[in-house]
């Protein structure tokens, strides 16, 4: 299963499809073939592995797969059916497919008389597939809220200046995180105040190969000549303050991960509504005092109502720290 997980990591991390790996074993536990999913419209991991064998060679083999074989016709056929037709003798998978239409593969396999075991290395695979699984289970994109602040929790000085709280290493790390998400989202307040381009760029200012789709949320129009209109991807304007509706629309557009990089207002609203899956905070060893807090009202009136988080990673970036945290329960805040 760990080999299948390694194979899965070869697939594209962005987009609507899960990264899945498959290993086919003979009766002695020796690897006969292996495969992984390479993206939309390509063979799924099980079919990719089977493609390396001649007709009949898969009979009696054990298929080890990170995700339950799918059971529906999409851009490709159902993997459960492919395994049945190939004569696979046993299937071991880690995590159940939460898809309303794609799930049910294990039942199809068992109905065909194929023994199925599930749950092997489930914790490791769940963590590896976390973004995709959260999106599939909640039917909305995985949401990362990012902000940069001083040690005393300020996102800007009292005169509004905020460039730059963090150093060059932290700022480059932000661009890498932008590139790792399907979309980047800001509110109209940030757009009008900062005129951001919302692109992912390298050390020399060049555009990275992967670019997040720009999304602006709010009722005010995007002014002509805004830098965001020069983005490599067309701008998505969400003329509403209903964040749940925004996420539902983005999910329908096959966006599965969103990087929220607006100011305190929109970040606080995502938190207040319980729509955050990961927090990414860049902490600078600086003090400025004043009233420009990194967050505003998040619906907490007493300490008993505080959002309790669990830190999952701390990365030094020059003099700064990048801190990743999630809700203590592991679900959204």
**pLDDT per position as a tens digit, 57-66:** 999 999 999 9
Q: Residues 229, 214: contact at Cβ < 8 Å? A: no
pLDDT for the residue 331: 53
Query: For the segment 181-217, what is each residue's pLDDT rounded down to a tens digit?
Result: 999 999 998 899 889 999 999 998 999 999 999 999 9
Taking the CA atoms of 263, 268, 273 and 278 in sequence, report the sign of the dihedral they define: positive
Hey, what are 141's tokens? 């994109």
**Strand order through the sheet with 62-67:** 31-36, 21-25, 62-67, 90-95, 116-118
- Answer yes or no: is pLDDT of 73 > 70: no
pLDDT for the residue 40: 78
Omega prior to 164 cis, within 30 of 0? yes
- CATH 3.40.430.10 in the chain: give the residue spans: 140-327
pLDDT for the residue 76: 67
- Answer yes or no: is pLDDT of 317 > 70: yes
pLDDT for the residue 251: 96
- Answer yes or no: is pLDDT of 104 > 60: yes
**CA-to-CA distance for 273 and 271, rounded, in angstroms?**
5
Q: What are the backbone dihedrals phi and psi of residue 113, each rounded to the nearest 5 degrees, phi first?
A: 85, 15
Query: For the segment 227-263, what is each residue's pLDDT rounded down to a tens digit?
Result: 999 999 999 999 999 999 999 999 999 999 999 998 8
* Mode of pairing for the β-strands spanning 31-36 and 21-25: antiparallel
- CATH 3.40.140.10 in the chain: give the residue spans: 2-135
pLDDT for the residue 10: 95
- Answer yes or no: is pLDDT of 153 > 70: yes
Q: Residues 329, 307: contact at Cβ < 8 Å? A: no
Which one-letter DSSP state was computed for residue 164?
A: T
Which CATH code for domain 2-135?
A: 3.40.140.10
**CA-to-CA distance for 4 and 64, rounded, in angstroms?**
7
Q: Which residues are catalytic?
A: 46
pLDDT for the residue 75: 64
Query: For the segment 267-301, what is each residue's pLDDT rounded down to a tens digit?
Result: 999 999 999 999 999 999 999 999 899 999 999 99
Query: For the segment 29-43, what is each residue's pLDDT rounded down to a tens digit?
Result: 999 999 999 987 888
Q: Which fold has domain 140-327?
A: Dihydrofolate Reductase, subunit A (3.40.430)
């Amino acid at each position: 299963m760990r080999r299948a997980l390694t194979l899965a990591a070869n697939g594209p991390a962005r987009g609507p499809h899960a990264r899945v790996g498959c290993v086919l074993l003979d009766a002695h536990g020796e690897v006969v073939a292996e495969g992984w999913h390479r993206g939309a419209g390509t063979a799924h991991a099980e079919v990719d592995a089977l493609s390396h064998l001649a007709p009949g060679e898969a009979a009696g083999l054990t298929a080890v797969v990170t995700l339950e074989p799918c059971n529906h016709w999409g851009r490709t056929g159902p993997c459960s059916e492919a395994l049945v037709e190939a004569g696979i003798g046993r299937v071991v998978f880690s995590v159940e497919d939460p898809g309303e239409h794609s799930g049910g593969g294990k039942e199809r396999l068992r109905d065909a008389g194929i023994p199925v075991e599930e749950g092997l290395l489930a914790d490791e695979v769940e963590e590896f597939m976390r973004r995709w699984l959260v999106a599939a289970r909640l039917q909305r994109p995985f949401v990362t809220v990012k902000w940069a602040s001083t040690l005393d929790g300020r996102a800007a000085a009292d005169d509004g200046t905020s460039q730059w709280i963090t150093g060059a290493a932290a700022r480059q790390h932000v661009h890498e995180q932008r590139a790792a998400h399907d979309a980047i989202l800001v509110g109209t307040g940030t757009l009008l105040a900062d005129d951001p381009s919302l692109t992912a760029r390298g050390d020399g200012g060049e555009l990275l190969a992967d670019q997040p789709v720009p999304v602006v949320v709010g009722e005010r129009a995007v002014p002509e000549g805004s830098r965001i209109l020069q983005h490599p991807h067309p701008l998505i304007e969400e003329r509403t303050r209903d964040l749940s509706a925004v996420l539902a629309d983005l999910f329908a557009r096959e966006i599965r991960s969103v990087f929220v990089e607006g100011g305190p207002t929109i970040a606080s609203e995502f938190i207040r509504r319980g729509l955050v899956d990961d927090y990414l905070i860049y902490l600078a060893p600086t003090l400025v005092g004043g009233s420009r807090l990194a967050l505003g009202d998040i619906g907490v009136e007493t300490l008993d109502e505080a959002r309790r988080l669990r830190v999952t990673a701390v990365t030094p970036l020059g003099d700064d720290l990048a801190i990743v945290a999630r809700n203590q329960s592991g679900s959204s805040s």
